[in-house]
Amino acid sequence: NWAFRLALIQLHVSAAKSDNLQRACGLVREASAKGAKLVALPECFNSPYGTQYFKEYAEKIPGESTQKLSEVAKECSIYLIGGSIPEEDGGKLYNTCTVFGPDGALLAKHRKVHLFDINVPGKIQFKESETLSPGNSFSMFDTPYCKVGLGICYDMRFAEMAQIYGQKGCQLLIYPGAFNMTTGPAHWELLQRGRAVDNQLYVATVSPARDEKASYVAWGHSTVVNPWGEVIAKAGAEETVVYTDIDLKKLAEIRQQIPILSQKRCDLYGVEMKK
pLDDT band at 6 (very low <50, low <70, confident <90, very high): very high
For residue 146, pLDDT beyond 80: yes
Q: Is 135 helix (H, G, I), strand (E, B) or coil?
A: coil
Let me know if 78 is exposed, middle or buried by CB neighbors in 10 A (0-12, 13-18, 19+): buried
Q: Which of 17, 25, 43, 68 is catalytic?
A: 43
What mean pLDDT do residues 236-242 have?
98
Q: What is the pLDDT of residue 1?
A: 75
275 is catalytic: no
Q: What is the pLDDT of residue 275?
A: 81
pLDDT band at 34 (very low <50, low <70, confident <90, very high): very high
pLDDT band at 134 (very low <50, low <70, confident <90, very high): very high
Q: Which of 153, 170, 189, 239 is catalytic?
A: 153
170 is catalytic: no
pLDDT band at 90 (very low <50, low <70, confident <90, very high): very high
Whether 153 contacts 175, CB under 8 Å: yes
Helices (H) and strands (E) in the chain, counts: 8, 15
What mean pLDDT do residues 190-202 have?
98
Q: How far is Cα 102 from Cα 253, in angstroms, rounded to an integer?
A: 29
For residue 189, pLDDT beyond 90: yes
For residue 80, pLDDT beyond 80: yes
Let me know if 224 is exposed, middle or buried by CB neighbors in 10 A (0-12, 13-18, 19+): buried
For residue 234, pLDDT beyond 90: yes
Residue 4: strand pairing partners? 246
Round the average pLDDT of the chain to a whole number and report it: 97
**In the chain, % of residues over pLDDT 70:** 100
Q: What is the pLDDT of residue 42?
A: 98
- State which amino acid sits at residue 154: Y
Report DSSP letters for 5-39, one per residue.
EEEEEE----S-HHHHHHHHHHHHHHHHHTT-SEE
Question: Which positions ≥6 away from 226 have C-beta within 8 Å?
Answer: 196, 202, 232, 247, 250, 251
Note the pTM of the prediction, 2 decimals: 0.98
Q: Which of 112, 128, 146, 189 is catalytic?
A: 112
For residue 240, pLDDT beyond 80: yes
213 is catalytic: no
What mean pLDDT do residues 246-274 have?
97
Q: What is the pLDDT of residue 228?
A: 98
Residue 220's nearest CA partner among 236, 197, 243 is: 236
